[in-house]
Amino acid sequence: MKVNSPTKAKAVLGQISDMDLRLLRVFKAVVDCGGMAAAELELNIGTSTVSRHIKDLETRLGLTLCRRGRAGFALTAEGEKIYAQTTQLLAATDAFRSSVDEIHQRMGGQLQVAVFDKTASNPASHIAEAIAHFHAEAPDVGLNLHVATLTAIERGVLDGQFHVGIIPGHRASDVLDYTPLFDEHMLLYCGTRHALWNADPSALNWETLPKYEFAGLGYHSPNMELSQRMRLPRRATGFDQESIATLILSGQFLGFLPDHYAESFVRRGLMQAVRPDLLSYACQFFAITRKSPQPSRATLAFQGCLVRAHEG
């Protein structure tokens, strides 16, 4: 007689209950925070309770979602798939809740806003002012502010993970609305160890610039478009402004940074602009939202606050 081995039991997940949604929210928080201990403050429950919830979810799904131990927290292959599906499901749940609020002509639920990095130090950016106006206008809406790459923000708005994105303009999508907000000025910088540090820059221009190694962003952006158009030899790649700054500080590469962000490095004598009169470019930032389905009242209200904060 064949004896069944005591391996993983089949999942008993049928209809998704409120408890399932709660467990999925705990799971998403643990992944976003990078572990159970880190999620304790986010969830306002003890680590042992977080761990129990994750075990309950694994039992409910019949899957091992993560590994935890001395090596740290890590998702399994199944866990990565469940996380992706969880993100979509919770976004859809929040959208449904917002739709119900719309019917009742009230603003509630959660608003997910994603911002491209290093915008807070830009004097032309008044996002903080817009947030203050929005909180006064919609105090019952929970505002969640994310910082992500340009590509991740676009993708997140498209799939409903984010309600509003704030990004530099670089290409247009027919399914997104673009609202102009503010500008950013980009200058070329070098570090103290670079050959151009304190050198006579008079012979340097867009035609001679390709002689030097360049550090650029590794995704479609105004930075990438410029480097391709000007045939700048990208020898190092960064995926946010912090990484570009670090590469510049090494003294091995030239790179473009927002002037407001680079200012602290310049003030400390660690970085200097190279031919700022010539080797620069400007990019405009936009608030992006999906055209369809119709944005919620909270989304439109936040968009309006952004517009008013950046008028004039």
Percent of residues, the chain, with pLDDT higher than 70? 91
Can you tell me the distance from the alpha carbon of 231 to that of 208, in angstroms, rounded to the nearest whole number?
A: 11
202 and 264 fall within a common domain:
yes
Number of domains in the chain: 3
Contact 150, 116 (CB under 8 A): yes
Judging by beta carbons within 10 Å of its beta carbon (0-12, 13-18, 19+), is residue 224 exposed, middle or buried? middle
The tens digit of pLDDT for each residue in 258-276 reads 999 999 999 999 999 999 9
Boundaries of domain holding 165: 106-182+285-309
Residue ranges of E strands in 44-120: 66-67, 74-75, 110-116
Residue corresponding to tokens 């390709």: 210
Flag whether 272 is in a domain: yes
DSSP three-state, residue 211: helix
Whether the per-residue pLDDT at 312 is higher than 80: the answer is no
**How far from the centroid of its chain's Cα atoms is residue 29's Cα?**
16
* DSSP structure class, residue 230: T
* DSSP structure class, residue 270: S
Contact 292, 186 (CB under 8 A): no
* Torsion angle (degrees, nearest 10) of CA 14, 15, 19, 21: 110
pLDDT on residue 1: 43
161 and 295 fall within a common domain:
yes
Tokens encoding 283 = 């990019």
Would the pTM count as exceeding 0.75?
A: no
The tens digit of pLDDT for each residue in 83-124 reads 988 888 887 777 777 666 665 556 778 899 999 999 999 999
Flag whether 73 is in a domain: yes
- Return the CATH number at 291: 3.40.190.10
Confidence grade of residue 14 (pLDDT, cut at 50, 70, 90): low
